[in-house]
Amino acid sequence: MIVSGFYRLLLRIAAVALVVVLIPVVIVVFIVSIPWILVSSFYETLDFRRFRRRHAGRNYLVWSSRHGWRNFIVNNVIPALPRGTQAFRLCSIRDTAEEERALRTYLYSRNHSRPYLACVRADKITFVPLHYALLPHRSRAARDENVQRITAKVVHHAIQAGQFG
């Protein structure tokens, strides 16, 4: 009984000593990391601003080949894209080109199901979802002029919504 109480007291003393030592270490690490966090967020903001200026006025159809979208997008949506609109495929393979990495970084949105339209303006990027508008036509993956006309209208309306949204 006395031995177990002694070990319990020893464990409490060790825990208090550990906390007393760790608190200053955590505080020092936090204080030292604040400038690094501020500088990195400043450079990220500058990079994002440069990206928006460089790509202002461009529209990107962002898509992936998951869930049967590939043939439909390639055959019916990409041929119907208006001038100035580029298709950008998100894939899991790391691209080596810096421009591809920047596009992937800034055009990726977790809040929207693909495909979606990313309208880049000098002040912001507007994401316009196309998933539900194109979903009824996805089953017609073969090249079809009627489907291309429908997708052209959907994309045109999305571009208008993105420019004023």
- What tens digit of pLDDT does each residue of 67-92 get? 789 999 999 999 999 988 999 988 76
Residue 157 pLDDT > 70: yes
Strands of the chain, DSSP E:
59-63, 85-89, 116-120, 125-129
Residues 86-123 have pLDDT tens digits of 999 887 656 556 777 778 888 888 888 889 999 999 99
Q: What six digits make up the tokens of 78?
A: 């990409």
Distance CA 73, CA 75 (A): 6
Q: Is the pTM of this model over 0.85?
A: no
